[in-house]
Amino acid sequence: KNEVEQSPQNLTAQEGEFITINCSYSVGISALHWLQQHPGGGIVSLFMLSSGKKKHGRLIATINIQEKHSSLHITASHPRDSAVYICAVSSMDSNYQLIWGAGTKLIIKP
């Protein structure tokens, strides 16, 4: 069993839909990261959180430490949101070696 699991693996939605991507982890963590990777490979860090909720524009990330679960939400989705969204955790045993989820490939159709 992977230490970081994301769901769904693939998600196709229509423009305007509310999107939720889930991440569950099995290790003790010091922080959880959400990253976005566009076609062509560029990676952008979206959020780093260790508790609660963060919001940036149309993106919202939440984390429940007790349940070892995080969600990334996109409101009013747009085709430019199409990308791979990756969840990664900094484990308590190794603060710098991020443990990566497999990613969720999101396609937003116009």
Partner 1 sequence: GAGVSQSPSNKVTEKGKDVELRCDPISGHTALYWYRQSLGQGLEFLIYFQGNSAPDKSGLPSDRFSAERTGGSVSTLTIQRTQQEDSAVYLCASSGVFGTDTQYFGPGTRLTVL
44 counts as binding partner 1 under rule CB under 8 A: yes
14 counts as binding partner 1 under rule CB under 8 A: no
Q: Whose Cβ is closer to partner 1: residue 14's or residue 94's?
A: 94
Q: Which position has the token pair 């992977």?
A: 2
27 SS3 class: coil
Tokens of 26: 């099995």
Q: Whose Cβ is closer to partner 1: residue 77's or residue 103's?
A: 103
Q: Which residues in 73-102 contact partner 1 (CB under 8 A)?
A: 86, 88, 90, 95-98, 100-102
H runs (alpha helix) in the chain: none
Residue 91 CA: distances (Å) to CA of 32, 67, 107: 9, 16, 30
Tokens of 2: 């992977």
Q: Whose Cβ is closer to partner 1: residue 48's or residue 60's?
A: 48
Q: Whose Cβ is closer to partner 1: residue 47's or residue 108's?
A: 47
Dist. CA 49–CA 26, nearest whole Å: 16
Give me the residues that bind partner 1 (CB under 8 A), please: 30-31, 33, 35, 41-45, 48, 50, 86, 88, 90, 95-98, 100-103
